[in-house]
Amino acid sequence: MFKFMSKPKKAMVYTVLVLATVWMLIPFLWTLENAFKPSIKLFEPGAAIPFLQYQPTLEHWNFALFHQSVIKGLINSIVVSLGTTGIVLIIGTMAGYALARYRFSYVKNKDLTIFFLSQRVLPPVVVLIPFFIILMRINLVDTRLGLILVNVTFNLPFGILIMRSIFNEIPVAIEESAFVDGANDYQVFWRIALPLAKNGLLATALIVFAFSWNEALFALTLTGAKAQTLPVMILSARSTRGVRFGFAAVNTILAIGPPIILTIFLQSNLARGLTFGALKE
């Protein structure tokens, strides 16, 4: 269709797209700048060209990276996000498979699905206090495990729904023939269904990872020094002497770097995953 558009119209479309690109990318570029600009120059926006208008400096990086808590924050974020992703993948995929392949009699599949879907509607703040109290009672405040438990709870519905859609897409025939050959349910799941659903697994993993990586409200409330994650570290750029923007910028880059790099490599899978979760309920 596009091919048939007139030249001026095409130009207009490209202009808009380029403007939108600039709009989307500016904050990233700005963060990069802030991470390398010396503190005095921070509030001089005109000074945008490195080496020409200001001397890039590594002072913020030195400060941040050698501050042991930043490294700890990074490690905590990685552990929590990987842990969450792992658990969601395991029990979420199983549940998705169950909903796609089996018929439940007591409670219909459709209702179960809606039940899980409704969890996404829950504003996290409603369970903020009970979670705090629960974690306090089982001594998991300020631990990575506690944070993983919380994050899994919020990401599980997502995982279940996506994987269910994925499995719905895969033709049952292959599995059926495996059954005929004498395989049991678990073998079919593990050997046949899962490999076929690889793309979906990847998309789910990516999304769950990203969401738990960025989670701030619970991280702020439930962690202390030991289990602080990167979003909390970023907030700590605010001290009694005001916000240290250079430090915040470095933390930001550390925080958004990994998910973005992952995205760029796997972006086509991402789109399919998000939409499968959306369309084929």
Q: Is 124 in the site for other proteins (CB under 8 A)?
A: yes
* Rounded least distance, CB 44 to other proteins, Å: 6
Choosing from 76, 155, 165, 251, the residue that interacts with other proteins (CB under 8 A) is 251
Choosing from 83, 146, 200, 231, the residue that interacts with other proteins (CB under 8 A) is 231
Which of these segments, 55-63, 78-86, 194-202, 245-253, binds other proteins (CB under 8 A)? 245-253
Retrieve residue 139's tokens: 């001594």
Among residues 16 and 198, whose Cβ is nearest to other proteins? 16
Q: Is 52 in the site for other proteins (CB under 8 A)?
A: no
Q: Is 116 in the site for other proteins (CB under 8 A)?
A: yes
Which of these segments, 50-58, 78-86, 197-205, 257-265, binds other proteins (CB under 8 A)? 257-265
Q: Is 79 in the site for other proteins (CB under 8 A)?
A: no
| DSSP string for residues in the chain | -GGGS-HHHHHHHHHHHHHHHHHHHHHHHHHHHHHHS-GGGGG-TT--SBTTTB----HHHHHHHTSHHHHHHHHHHHHHHHHHHHHIIIIIHHHHHHHHH---SSS-HHHHHHHHHHHTTS-GGGGHHHHHHHHHHTT-TT-HHHHHHHHHHHHHHHHHHHHHHHHHHS-THHHHHHHHTT--HHHIIIIIIHHHTHHHHHHHHHHHHHHHHH--HHHHHH--SSS--HHHHHHTTEETTEE-HHHHHHHHHHHHHHHHHHHHHHHHHHHHHHHHHHH--
Which of these segments, 52-60, 78-86, 196-204, 250-258, binds other proteins (CB under 8 A)? 250-258
Among residues 122 and 198, whose Cβ is nearest to other proteins? 122
Task: Give how far Cα 259 sits from Cα of 22, 82, 205, 214, Å.
Answer: 20, 12, 11, 10
Q: Is 36 in the site for other proteins (CB under 8 A)?
A: no
Choosing from 80, 141, 166, 203, the residue that interacts with other proteins (CB under 8 A) is 141
Choosing from 78, 91, 145, 202, the residue that interacts with other proteins (CB under 8 A) is 91
Task: Give how far Cα 66 sits from Cα of 87, 115, 229, 275, Å.
Answer: 32, 47, 16, 41
* Rounded least distance, CB 150 to other proteins, Å: 8
Q: Is 138 in the site for other proteins (CB under 8 A)?
A: no
Q: Is 281 in the site for other proteins (CB under 8 A)?
A: yes
- Residues 161 to 180 in contact with other proteins, rule: CB under 8 A: 176, 179-180
- Residues 184 to 223 in contact with other proteins, rule: CB under 8 A: 184-186, 189, 210, 213-214, 216-217, 220-221
Q: How far apart are CA 205 and CA 270, in angstroms?
A: 10
Retrieve residue 18's tokens: 């380029």
Q: Is 157 in the site for other proteins (CB under 8 A)?
A: yes
Total chain residues near other proteins (CB under 8 A): 121
Among residues 52 and 184, whose Cβ is nearest to other proteins? 184
Q: Is 49 in the site for other proteins (CB under 8 A)?
A: no
